[in-house]
Structure 1
Amino acid sequence: MTPHTLPAVRGGAVTAHGAGQPPQALAEFVHPGDRVLTVGPGTAPLQLAGWTGQPVTSVHTTLADVEVIRAALGPHGRAAGTVDATVGELFDGRPDAGLFDVVLVTAAVPGLSPRWLDQLAPGGVIVAPVALGGLHLWTACGHDHVKADGLLYGSVLAAGLPAVGPPSAPGERFAVTQSGPPVERLSCPTWAPQWAGVTPPRLTPEGYVDLWAWLATRDDRITAARTDGTEWGPGCALVVGHSAVHVRPDGLWLSDTQPATLALAQVVAEDVQEWGRQHRPAATELTCRLGRRPDAGPDELVTAAGWTTHRPVQVSRPAKKEEPQ
């Protein structure tokens, strides 16, 4: 059974959590004159309005989020219409405002709302923190203009560690916070000497995120876990039922030494070693395909699949040509 690591879709809406500030690489996709939509919490619309020189449209789940934007704009910015901020359903975007060149999502989501795609102008890009294995993978989603095959791809721009956040309440349509996705709480693990040194020595925090992302692409049972009785976490763990294998910079820590748990540890160890054999690919080398099942309903998310470091993808936005004088 896969632990509850990802937000869920309930009643056509995404249960999402705040994912922090967008990565610097977002600047590669936003050009002067672009029409931009932001979906979710935060003050990114203010910066994007400065980049584009155009009013930015945004949708938030609470009036408090909208008031943060309005207060930061000040009287002049509000009068100038620098940001058109409103309360609404994040899943719906802003169908009243036309098509957008860039849609920036600031809530960690398990996939893209088809309505965001409907509101995307030709050649446009959605940048969103797609949840994978408990991580936020900031992903540029769009068409590969070199392949020109009409398929939708994702290319990771940055990856961040999750923060501890409360799980969504039953039936809650949206739970947007700044804290991050739910984190599995597990009992204190046991040091198993035979698994010492499985993870590479001198693993940096960035390298740990890279390894975590790699493991999550190879096994959908990878999740974010915080261990009771320790200061760890949230960290990477493979969890099946009551068995858990924690991936730590100093090795693998096991929930117990039962045969089932030892078997899981062997799986993790082999995947860690493969990461090393592949020259420790970074999370930003990951790409994915995006799509829906053929029988998907109209409100089913467009989800990522086929995460790999072996598929060259160039999701980009050429600068707009200047209009002749």
Structure 2
Amino acid sequence: MTIPHGSPTPTEEAAGLPEFLAAVVRPGDRVLQIGPGTAAVQLAQRARRVVSVHSTLADVEAVRASLGPRGRSADAVDAQVGDLFEGRPDAAPYDLVVVTAGVRGISPRWLDQLAPGGVVVAPIALGGLHPWVLVGPHARDGLLYGRVLAVDPSDAGPPPADGQLYVTRPAPAEPAEPPAATTAPLWLGPLSPRFKPERYVDLWAWLAGQDDRFTVAGLDIAGPEPGCALVVGTSAVYVRPDGIWMSDAEPVTITLTDIVSDYVRRWLIQRQPEADEMTCRVDRPPTAGPDELFVAAGWTTARPVNLPR
């Protein structure tokens, strides 16, 4: 599912839960909400017990204000300031952890605080997008997998910096600056007669899942909206709804153009899979320590994943 621009997200004060998230919450759930916004208030309308952890007192006060007098007196949400990486071990275990900040990966603390069969829903950085990914153990092998629930293109922005867990939402993130073009960017033509512009975010997510050199990139000459580009050194090939652009006519850039064109053809041949058909493995890198994030890798549309919910 791709969410159109301007659609509600869980970090908007007045918004109800989006459909993809509401479908994950069960009436008896014990829920931990992590990050900015007042999603905990909407979660409390569906779940049995909701606690939340925020990085600032202002975020906690926003939750309490949204509860109103009746919600505060009923202790509908237990909101506290704390370390987002650490979660809330004092109230664990949880059936569902909902993260409302774009993250590079999944904190091992969140996984430690899950009840058996519990899952995490988080917007995980992927090529400048932050698709909402449901992460949990596979029914067959018990290993962690993720499947995309939805993608909101308005969340496009650079991933958290190295050493950071998350990017604050819903403040818009500026697209990363691609390599400076030595000449005006060159338009190479449309993607394909079969391509529909409304499928652009699906293509973007798929490209980023195939090659981690794709990133968010602005291209003023093609419009104000951020898009994606394959970037290597000082060369960039931009994939936009109106077609493919390249930063210059240098040999390395032309080679990258051939790579990008081949990726686009593969997506079209595979019948233009949607972002919510994508799944991934979620694990620590081989050399990671016990406190490092579980990251998403091996993105594909060819692996069905049977998660707890």
TM superposition score normalised by structure 1:
0.83
**2:80 alignment partner in structure 1:** 86
1:71-150 matches, within 5 Å, as 71-145=65-139, 147=140, 149-150=141-142
Change over 3 Å in CA distance of 1:292–1:168 after alignment to 2: closer
Q: Is the 8 Å Cα contact of residues 19 and 129 (structure 1) preserved in structure 2? A: no
Q: Which residue of 2 aligns with 1:204?
A: 197
Q: Counterpart of 1:242?
A: 234
Distance 1:208 1:85 in 2: 38
Residue 66, structure 1, aligned to residue 60, structure 2? yes
| Residue 50 of structure 2: aligned partner | 56
**3-state SS in 2 of match to 1:183:** coil
Q: Would the aligned equivalents of 1:153 and 1:289 in 2 still touch at CA under 8 Å?
A: yes
Name the TM-score, length of structure 2 as normaliser: 0.87
Could you tell me which residue of structure 2 aligns to residue 41 of structure 1? 36
Match of 1:297 among 289, 300, 304: 289
Residue 159 of structure 1: CA displacement?
A: 1.1
**Deviation by residue 1:138-172 (Cα, 9 ceiling, x = unmatched):** 11100223x2x111110110012254768979987
**2:197–2:242 Cα contact (<8 Å) kept:** no
Q: Displacement, 1:25?
A: 1.7
2:196 partner amino acid: L
Residues 148 and 275 of structure 2 are in contact (CA less than 8 Å); yes or no, is this contact kept in structure 1? yes
- For each residue in 1:69-95, what CA deviation from the matched residue of structure 2 results, as whole angstroms up to 9, or x when unmatched? 111111221111101001111100001
1:238 shift after superposition:
0.9
**Structure 1 position 190, deviation (Å):** 4.0
For residues 206-243 of structure 1, give each alpha carbon's deviation from its aligned partner in whole angstroms, at most 9, with x where no partner exists: x1011001111111110111135663331111111211
More strand, by proportion: 1
SS in 2 for 1:78: helix
The letter for the 2-side match of 1:196 is G
Other-structure match for 1:30: 25
Q: Which amino acid aligns with 2:190?
A: G
**Alignment deviations for residues 176-216 of structure 1 (CA, whole Å, 9 cap, x no partner):** 241355521244774545x31234555233x1011001111
**What secondary structure sits across from 1:198 in the alignment?**
coil
Q: Which residue number corresponds to residue 5 of structure 1?
A: none
Aligned equivalents of 1:211, 1:294: Cα separation in 2: 29
Determine if contact 1:105/1:129 at 8 Å carries over to the other structure. yes
More displaced 10-residue stretch of structure 1: 273-282 or 292-301? 292-301
Further displaced range: 220-229 or 305-314: 220-229
Deviations 1:255-277 (A, max 9, x none): 11111111111100000001011
Instruction: Please point out which of 301, 304, 307 is paired with 2:299.
Output: 307
In 2, Cα distance between equivalents of 1:117 and 1:88: 17
Q: CA deviation at 1:136?
A: 1.1
Q: Give CA-to-partner distance per residue, 1:261-305, whole Å, 9 cap, x none.
A: 111111000000010111001110000111113442121000111
How far apart, CA to CA, are the structure 2 residues paired with 1:200 and 1:34?
47
- Partners of 1:130 and 1:172 in 2: how far apart? 13
Judged with a 3 Å threshold, the aligned counterparts in structure 2 of structure 1 residues 246 and 185 are, in CA distance, closer, same or farther, namely same
State the alpha-carbon separation in 1 of the partners of residues 280 and 159 from structure 2: 27
Q: Which amino acid aligns with 1:130?
A: I
Q: In structure 2, how many angstroms separate the alpha carbons of the residues matched to 1:311 and 1:67? A: 43
Identity value in percent: 54
Structure 1, unmatched stretches of 5+, are 1-17, 318-325
Aligned position for 1:267 = 259
Distance change in 2, residues 1:122/1:162 (3 Å): same
Q: Distance in 2 between matches of 1:168 and 1:290?
A: 18
- The two structures, once aligned, show a CA RMSD in angstroms of 2.5
Q: Is the 8 A contact 1:164 1:179 kept in 2?
A: no
Aligned partners of 2:172, 2:57: CA distance in 1, in Å?
20
Task: Please tell me the residue identity of whatever aligns with 1:34.
Answer: D
